[in-house]
Amino acid sequence: MKITMLAGGVGGAKFALGLRALLQARHPDHELRIIANVGDDMWLTGLKVCPDLDSLMYALAGVNDAQRGWGREDESTRVSAELSEFGVGWPWFTLGDLDLGTHIARSALLREGLPLSDVTRRLSARWDLGARLLPAAETDLETWVELEAGCAETGTVHFEEWWVRLRAGIPAHRFHQRGTQPVQPGAGVLEAIADADAVLFAPSNPVVSIGTICGFPAADGPGIAGIPEIADALRSTRAPVVGVSPIIDSAPLRGMARQCLQSLGWECSARAVGLAYGARSAGGLLDGWLVDEADASAVPELRSAGLHAQAAPLWMTDAATSQDLAAAALQLADLVSSSPR
């Protein structure tokens, strides 16, 4: 059984662990491919930092700091303190010593000319992740945030500056994707969507984690473009495409999905995100959409929009609930497959 999942970092990692456990328990001959957002990436202190790829890699390797949701466990910050003394890098963006090992290794391999997909495979090979990490793009495709005019700060900042230094405290007027053109989908990404038995959207931020991969519309305009070839592959795959809402009862599971959705004119709800992704039968990206039981009232409207919508417990509080959520997503994919299109 080949399962392909689109994911950001923190929300995606928890869901990936549940999905991996479920597949290992029920489908020993499975393949799990995770298409990871690269919009948070940046070159910092001369090193290539890939937050979502690293959150997924560290979580699957079991070496992540589960409390913070990013970075390594048992971390130290001696080098980061030295960088701050030299005024190099972002003092508000801590690169731990072990984490720097990843960025140095990645940058060294990139400078040898390896594409990011090969570099990711080389770094991941250190552990038995039980999944293949696929960068959504081979080339740089950074998310930059154009700040709302007339606020304390103006201009356009890298997503991580908006997210970490500003804590999304200044509204985003627009999200831009900046990178080498033409954007090259990561090696294996289009194939992993085309040959999957099911494609899942993890409960990640729909704008800056999933939208940066396959696009996410604004309520009244373009929104964020994503990588068009990936959106096309999602629209044409024979596999059922099922998403898990990252919003429960109008509150994001974590992070700042509210601010991101507001910037694109959407309310912060499972209903709005499902309608924005849209049903593949109506030209959108999804067949199925899992919402929490707190949002069950939205199911009829979502169904009338062409989505196979279902309510299930979405809170992932431990390994068991993460596995149950993964099971619910795959069950919905089976239902979609057995329903007439």
Does 252 engage in binding with ligand FO1 (CB under 6 A)?
A: no
Among 5, 14, 20, 54, binds ligand FO1 (CB under 6 A): 54
Judged by DSSP in three states, 298 sits in helix
* Separation of alpha carbons 154 and 253, rounded Å: 29
End-to-end CA, the chain: 21
* CA neighbor of 32 nearest in space, from 134, 138, 184: 134
Q: Which of 7, 34, 49, 59 binds ligand FO1 (CB under 6 A)?
A: 49
Candidate ranges 3-11, 223-231, 269-277, 279-287; the one touching ligand FO1 (CB under 6 A): 3-11
Stretch that binds ligand FO1, among 20-28, 158-166, 219-227, 239-247 (CB under 6 A): 158-166
Nearer to ligand FO1 by C-beta: 94 or 269?
Answer: 94
Among 3, 6, 9, 186, binds ligand FO1 (CB under 6 A): 9
Q: Is 339 helix (H, G, I), strand (E, B) or coil?
A: coil
Q: Which residues contact 102 (CB under 8 A, 6 or more apart)?
A: 54, 57, 123
| One residue of 12, 18, 51, 89 binding ligand FO1 per CB under 6 A | 51
**Which DSSP string corresponds to 243-296?**
EE-SEETTEESSTTHHHHHHHTT--SSHHHHHHHH-BGGGTSSBSEEEE-GGGG
Choice from 15, 163, 201, 266 touching ligand FO1 (CB under 6 A)? 163
- AA identity, residue 16: A
Count of positions on this chain that bind ligand FO1 (CB under 6 A):
17
Which of 40, 138, 197, 292 contacts ligand FO1 by CB under 6 A?
Answer: 40
CB 8 within 8 A of CB 53: no
Task: Provide the minimum distance between the beta carbon of 75 and ligand FO1 in the complex, in angstroms, as a whole number.
Answer: 10
Confirm or reject binding of residue 80 to ligand FO1 (CB under 6 A): no
- Residue 141 CA to residue 38 CA, distance in Å, equals 7
DSSP state of 297: G
Binding ligand FO1 by CB under 6 A: which of 45, 55, 263, 322?
55
Name the one range near ligand FO1 by CB under 6 A: 22-30, 141-149, 156-164, 264-272: 156-164
Binding site for ligand FO1 (CB under 6 A): 8-10, 40, 49, 51, 54-55, 70-71, 93-95, 99, 160, 163-164
